[in-house]
Amino acid sequence: MERSNPTKLKRLADLARIVRKLKEQGKKIVHCHGVFDLIHPGHIRHFSQAKKYGDILVVTITADAFVNKGPGRPVFKEDLRAEVLSSIEYVDYVTIVNSGSAILAINKIKPDFYVKGPDYKKRKVNPYVPQKLKSEEEAVSKWGGNLVFTEDVIFSSSQLINENLYVYPPATKMYLDNLKSKYSADFIINQLTGLRNLKILVIGDAIIDEYHYCLPTGKSSKEPVMVHQYIADETFIGGTLATANHLSALSDKVTLLTLLGKKRSYERFIKTKLKPTVVPIFFYQGNISTIIKRRYVDFYTKQKLFQLAFIKENFLSDKIERRIVRFLTREIGKYDLVIVNDFGHGLMSRKIIATICKSARFLCLNVQANSANYGFNVIVKYPRADFVCIDTQEIRLATHDQFGELPPLIKKIYTVMNCKMLIVTKGQEGSICYQKKRGFHEVPALTDRIVDRVGAGDALFAVTSPCVYSGLEDEITSFVGNIAGALQVQVVGNSKQIELIDLVRFITRLLK
Ligand SMILES: Nc1ncnc2c1ncn2[C@@H]1O[C@H](COP(=O)(O)OP(=O)(O)OP(=O)(O)O)[C@@H](O)[C@H]1O
Ligand SMILES: [Mg+2]
């Protein structure tokens, strides 16, 4: 198919060169950045006004993989979006940028004017947009440019899409319409920002997640095995370390208690990856390494081929256990809520559990089933909790019911744990929560783009815990939780943790 104006489409590096030459000729460069999924009259006027600031208008767009606007988005793939933009008279160059932010493009283009739409200017005091804009503005002024705004009627692509195109499955559309009729995005965002000062203690296993990317080269000539060639590897913090980072999206007062191995502790690496507001309290166990889960992953499809776990079983010594119990007995009452993320790898011993359950003022529990503990690590090993968040498999194991309907199992665990709220996550089917007074509430999954499902339940658990503690409506808690789950499945493992800005943007898009 013939592109409308192929000469306008450039790679970022080429565009940077072209722009440099144009600047040498005295031309003023104007830059707009966005997704531009559904071009509407507001965009056209935006570009026409933007162009008036200078001579050359460059539009950079976010590549599909970095668009974070909810299920079905972007509606139009990057090539098509670039094609539409390049056919607009005012636009001189178009580039697809492999980044979720404009900064990369700004640093290459070094525009004289970086232009945003009126919605950014007129948006009432909202701490998130200005923050994002602030870093873009800093990048622009670093190169001597100016941030300027266009003035016009505000059209929103997301609103037009939500109202006129069927991007969501019917059940999701119904769910979102109903939610929208009750709460505005601002209301939900305000509730979330009200959690900033909660004092939170997170306890659980520390995990180092390794991803080793490889590609098949062929069958071994000697053995019946497929040989793979190593391509690259990445290491992330996982387990409770990631949960603590997720929590820092909502609270500035997160303390993390976890256990590292003395042999290979990864402490320095962990400290560089923990968010600056997270206060770590490490206990060290001699003779073991910090738990590592190494995944061998197909480089192209990101499909997992094989997993290797470096976990020594039953490692907690009496001495370290006593120290942890002493610390908890002394400190636990100082926290508004205590979040236990139990992966069943040995830290959460009976004595530690008993201490936590006795003294935590508000206890949030996630007790995981995985290959290392299959069937043994169940929620009912804890005598009580205020909030329980587990997945479908985990509630079935805890109730010894493989096939029955979920609601009776949920009620059973709710009663046994004597909790105030219980969420069961259902992977691609979203989640179901239960509270005695309000009954059941189901939320559909909020994305259809899956990169890696690891850690989705932990992200949902982390962001819902402070919401439950603060008594937010179950509808809001579940919605925000599923947004966290959706954000998490869109990245490889724990390569990125939930940020408040991502939650805010996702909420805003879905409720437009
Ligand atoms: N395939 C998927 N498609 C869309 N959303 C998903 C998918 N998998 C997970 N999610 C989102 O993440 C949330 C939690 O996922 P899930 O139920 O898989 O947790 P989990 O089994 O505890 O995961 P983990 O233990 O790896 O953190 C879901 O409620 C949903 O919002
Ligand atoms: Mg889980």
Least confidently predicted of 12-26, 116-130, 359-373, 425-439: 116-130
Supply the angle between the helices 500-510 and 185-193 in degrees, to the nearest 10: 160
Look at residue 498 and tell me whether its pLDDT is greater than 60. Answer: yes
Residues 433, 438, 441, CA angle at the centre, nearest 5°?
35
Q: Please, are residues 373 and 499 in contact by the beta-carbon 8 Å criterion?
A: no
**pLDDT at position 2, please?**
44
Stretch among 243-257, 444-458, 472-486 having the lowest mean pLDDT:
444-458
Protein residues near ligand 2, an ion, with CB under 5 A:
368, 457
**Res 372 pLDDT > 90:** no
CA of 182 to the centre of ligand 1 (A): 26
The full length of the chain comes to 512
Atom of ligand 1 nearest to the CA of 431: 29
Give the CA distances from residue 250 to residues 137, 231, 460, 467, in Å, rounded to whole numbers and listed in that order.
25, 36, 13, 9
Rounded Cα gap, residues 374 and 387, in angstroms? 22
Rounded CA separation 503/507 (Å):
6
DSSP code for 405: -
> What's the average model confidence in pLDDT over 112-126?
74
Confidence band, pLDDT 50/70/90 cuts, at residue 464: very high
Residue 188 has pLDDT above 70, yes or no: yes
Mutate to test the pocket of ligand 1, among 205, 371, 460 (most ligand atoms within 8 A of CB): 460
How does DSSP assign 313-328, residue by residue?
TT---HHHHHHHHHHH
* Residue whose CB lies within 8 A of the most ligand 1 atoms, among 489, 506, 510, for a mutation test: 489
- At residue 249, the pLDDT reads 96
How far is the CA of 100 from the CAs of 34, 63, 111, 400, in angstroms? 10, 8, 19, 44
Name the percent of the chain lying above pLDDT 90. Answer: 78
* Percent of the chain's residues with pLDDT above 70: 95
Largest Cα–Cα distance of the chain, in whole Å? 76
- Which residues line the pocket of ligand 1, CB cutoff 6 A? 368, 391, 425-428, 430-431, 445, 447, 450, 453-458, 460, 482, 485-486, 489
Question: Region 184-205: what's the mean pLDDT?
Answer: 97
Q: Rounded to two decimals, what is the model's pTM?
A: 0.79
Task: Report the residue among 453, 458, 487 best suited for mutation to probe ligand 1: largest number of ligand atoms under 8 A from its CB.
Answer: 453
Count of beta carbons in the 10 Å neighbourhood of residue 28? 14
Task: Name residues whose C-beta falls within 8 Å of residue 463's C-beta, 6 or more positions apart in sequence.
Answer: 246, 247, 249, 250, 480, 481, 483, 484, 498, 503
Are 148 and 136 within 8 A, CB to CB?
no
Task: Set out the domains of the chain in order of their start, with CATH numbers.
Answer: 6-164 (3.40.50.620), 190-205+245-285+320-510 (3.40.1190.20)
For the segment 123-148, the average pLDDT, to the nearest whole number, is 77
The set of residues, in sequence order, having a beta carbon less than 8 Å from that of 362 and lying 6+ positions away, is: 336, 337, 338, 386, 387, 469
Instruction: Mark 145-162 as b/e (b = at least 16 C-beta within 10 Å).
Output: bebbbbebeebbbbeebb
Q: Is 209 exposed, middle or buried (0-12, 13-18, 19+ CB in 10 A)?
A: buried
Rounded to the nearest 5°, which phi and psi values hold at 236?
-130, 160
Q: What is the mean pLDDT of residues 108-136?
A: 75
pLDDT digits (tens, 9 = 90+) for 276-310: 999 999 999 988 999 999 999 999 888 999 999 99
